[in-house]
Amino acid sequence: MSLSQRLRETRKNAGLTLEQLATDAGISKTYLWELEHDDDGQKKPSADVLLKIAEALKTTIAELLGLPAVQVNKTKVDLSRSLIEFRDWMQQIGEALTPEEFQDLAAMRFRGGQPKNKDGWHDLYRTLKRTTGK
């Protein structure tokens, strides 16, 4: 499903008109209409615009973009591509992460951020294993 379809569906499920959502998100009704009818994916809204829309719809950017997420302690956590790559790589080398390890890593934040690549996740994982003894 495209961003335009998810956006339109989420807005309708929330019972909001285009005008209401545009007002709540602080964007123009015309731009919102363009996003909802951009079935070819030509429009590339900024993260700021997506965040405003997501907050107005009481959802996440990941949900709007159709990105994978996991549930940790009933708190939704977005999965980064780099974490997914790390998980897949660990499985390839025969050291698959347990579901608990994967969830713990997904919820991990350091100074508000996460590793940006597979090697960064591997360093973090090794550090956690070494310091926790698990």
Task: For 66-92, write each residue's pLDDT tens digit.
Answer: 887 665 556 666 788 999 999 999 999
- CA 53, 55, 115, 1 dihedral sign is negative
Closest by CA position to 53, among listed 44, 64, 42, 41: 64
The CATH H-level (homologous superfamily) assignment of domain 3-65 is lambda repressor-like DNA-binding domains (1.10.260.40)
* Token output for 16: 């909001």
Q: Quick check: 99 pLDDT over 60?
A: yes
Asked if residue 21 lies in contact with residue 56, where contact means CB atoms within 8 angstroms, the answer is yes
The amino acid that residue 12 corresponds to is: K
Task: For 39-70, write each residue's pLDDT tens digit.
Answer: 888 989 998 999 999 999 998 888 888 887 66
Backbone angles phi, psi at 4, to 5 degrees: -60, -45
18 pLDDT band, cuts 50/70/90, is very high
> What is the rounded distance in angstroms from the CA atom of residue 112 to the CA atom of residue 26?
26
pLDDT of residue 62: 85
Listed in order, the ranges of the chain carrying CATH 1.10.260.40 are 3-65
When the pLDDT of each residue in the chain is averaged and rounded to a whole number, the result is 87
Model-level pTM?
Answer: 0.52
